[in-house]
Structure 1
């Protein structure tokens, strides 16, 4: 196959299932509002990665060769957004408010375009699992489908996990430590992508 489907599927599942900015956002949203209320946000997060995959597949990375400063700027702006998100997580509490409204589809849609881990994951898919002569549409559609399938399966699990955690620790002395831990994992995932050259 022009795209190493089996290998990439394993890679995609491992990356989508591990802690990162998107999964931390899903976990916290599930903890704050519950899985059912968070489903539009989950759908937005899952589809938001498509906004990265298709432009990269159709040559966006060629632009990086001619204007590297643009991509460097975008990388640091994205990192800044995720760090701001981590700060909000650190200061958030899980005591749910029945009047509060969960973030919706459009809020979820921008999570991955501003997520350095997502960019690294998609670029790795094209560079490490795709043969050079693969037709552009075939490669892009295959990578897009595999990542979407992984997200549809795994993102709700993270969100539901947050709901279950909230039932255990909300209002207890462990709540503050949990939120700071989640924020710390979010920051660590961004720093690893920025300075470690990894994809997780």
Structure 2
């Protein structure tokens, strides 16, 4: 595969992962409240989750999950409840706790679980598996290609969103500014659930 053949896949993954959604909202909120270093498990979990979804899409597992309505409904319901709980926590939180040791950001395993509930992630990876299958000689090569591409682009995108949250933490000083930001991030996260049910 040449660079010219790979470039469309890379651009698709880069644009898909950097656009706002539930994962980028979580990374921004985590950066604002916990800083970059303490947000690394969240970003690593989301990135690995998306890479795993891409591998599953290439292997055909996503089609199996989508064909099971009861399993799909259960995943949506549990994912929605968890995301609403996170949105509530973000929306009601105060100024950041960048140096706090007691308050913990979303962990690695929870971040993987959140990513598996992300309809945008499934749409991206399923679309990529269908659109770019010709780049690989078989399902294993396609799974490796998609997994690496989506994992790396997601990691870079989430780092940028996390840094944006960290910058906001440095700029915002008053309690009302934090209430406004936290309320907006909470609403964005809650709104990201809507496409899951459409």
TM over 0.5: yes
Partner of 1:53: 54
Task: Flag the structure with higher helix content.
Answer: 2
Rounded to whole Å, the distance in 2 between the matches of 1:7 and 1:193 is 27
2:140 counterpart (137, 141, 145): 137
Partner of 2:104: 102
Rounded to whole Å, the distance in 1 between the matches of 2:13 and 2:143 is 14
Distance 1:160 1:123, change over 3 A: same
Task: Please state how far the C-alpha of 1:193 moved relative to its aligned partner.
Answer: 4.7
Partner of 1:152: 155
- TM-score, normalised to structure 1, is 0.83
Partner of 2:68: 67
Rounded to whole Å, the distance in 2 between the matches of 1:127 and 1:72 is 24
Task: Please state how far the C-alpha of 1:62 moved relative to its aligned partner.
Answer: 4.0
Task: Please state how far the C-alpha of 1:132 moved relative to its aligned partner.
Answer: 10
Contact 1:20 1:190 in 2 (8 A): no
Number of aligned residue pairs: 194
For the aligned residues, what is the CA RMSD? Answer: 2.6
Rounded to whole Å, the distance in 2 between the matches of 1:95 and 1:37 is 12
- TM-score, normalised to structure 2, is 0.83
Distance 1:174 1:54, change over 3 A: same
Structure 2 residues without counterparts, runs of 5 or longer: none
Rounded to whole Å, the distance in 2 between the matches of 1:64 and 1:152 is 25
Match status 1:165 vs 2:168:
yes
Write the deviation string for residues 24-73 of structure 1: whole angstroms up to 9, x where unpaired. 11111111111122223322222122332223322213424753332233
Write the deviation string for residues 106-134 of structure 1: whole angstroms up to 9, x where unpaired. 33332312322222221121123324985
Distance 1:61 1:149, change over 3 A: closer
Task: Please state how far the C-alpha of 1:83 moved relative to its aligned partner.
Answer: 2.5
Task: Please state how far the C-alpha of 1:171 moved relative to its aligned partner.
Answer: 3.6
- Give the stretch that moved more between structures: 101-110 or 183-192: 101-110
Contact 2:54 2:147 in 1 (8 A): yes
Rounded to whole Å, the distance in 1 between the matches of 2:191 and 2:137 is 35
Q: Which runs of 4+ in 1 moved over 6 A?
A: none
Structure 1 residues without counterparts, runs of 5 or longer: 196-200
